[in-house]
Each structure stands twice: as C-alpha cells, then as structure tokens.
C-alpha cells in the first residue's frame, strides 16, 4: 500500500501509516476450536428462541395474521 493511502486511512490518530502493515491480521488463522462451534451454535439457538418469543409476543408478527 502507498504511504499516502495509508496515511489517509489512518487519519489523524496517533496510529501512524506503518500500523496498517497488517498482514498478520489477515493471515495465520488459528485452527477451529470447539468453543467456536459452541459460540456459533448457541448464538443460532438464542436467535431461534428470540424468534419464537418474538412471534408470540410482538402483536405485528406474522403469527397473528
């Protein structure tokens, strides 16, 4: 990335353009951990529960149509 562009993105914060050398931000993915499965699955389950409660509680939901 050009120096100028880096500066433009980093703007006037104390982080300088150099800070945007961020290959390690995109590379070096850790192996998938079981806790991540839990996080994702529980999040979906929570969404499902919220959806069911929402359907029953929100008067404008399609459940009442």
Partner 1 sequence: MTDLSNRKWYTGMTTQEDWWAVWLGLGFFCLGLLTLAGVDLVGWIAYPKKWVFSLPEGAVAKKIVTPDKAFYALGGKYSITAKGFYKSLGPIGSILVTYLVFTVATTIGAYFMKWNIKRYITGWTIIFFLTYLVWFIGHHAFFAATAVDLKKSKFPDMFTLSLGGGASFILALIVGLIIGNFFKGFASYLSTAAKPEWFIKTAIVFLGVKVGYLPIKAAASSAKLGKEVAGLTGELFIAGAAATVVAYLIFWPGVYLISRKIFKLPRKTAAVLGSGISICGVSAAVATGGAVRAKPVVSIMVSALVVVWAVIELIILPGFFTHVWPRTDDPLVAGAAMGMSVKTDGADAAAGELMDEFMRTKIERDTHGAVQWPEGIITVSAVMTKIWIDMFIGLWAFILALLWVYRIERRPGERVMASEVWHRFPKFVLGYFAAWFIYLAIFFGPGHAGAPEGMDVLKAATAGAVPVEKGMRKFFFMLTFMSLGIITDFKKLREAQFGKMVWVYFVALFLFIIPVAILIAYIFHHGMQIPNIAPQ
Partner 2 sequence: MHTEYLIRHNGKSWVAENELCSLSASTLEELDLKVETHLRQTGLLKKGERMRVFMFFDNSTIPEWIRQYAQHYFNRVIEVKG
By CB under 8 A, name the binding residues for partner 1: 1, 5, 8-10, 13, 15, 19-20, 22, 24-30, 32-33, 35-36, 39-41, 43-44, 46-47, 50-51, 53-55, 57-62, 65
Is residue 13 a contact point for partner 2 (CB under 8 A)? yes
Compute and round to an integer the Cα radius of gyration of the chain.
Answer: 22
Give the list of residues 6+ apart from residue 19 with CB closer than 8 angstroms, or none: 10
**How far does the chain reach from its first CA to its final CA, in angstroms?**
55
Q: Which stretch binds partner 2 (CB under 8 A): 7-15, 31-39, 41-49, 52-60?
A: 7-15
């Amino acid at each position: 990335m050009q120096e100028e562009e880096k500066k433009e993105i980093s703007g006037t914060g104390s982080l300088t353009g150099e800070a945007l050398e961020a290959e390690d931000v995109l590379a070096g993915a850790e192996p998938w951990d079981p806790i991540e499965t839990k996080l994702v699955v529980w999040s979906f389950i929570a969404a499902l529960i919220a959806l069911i409660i929402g359907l029953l509680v929100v008067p404008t939901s399609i459940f009442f149509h």
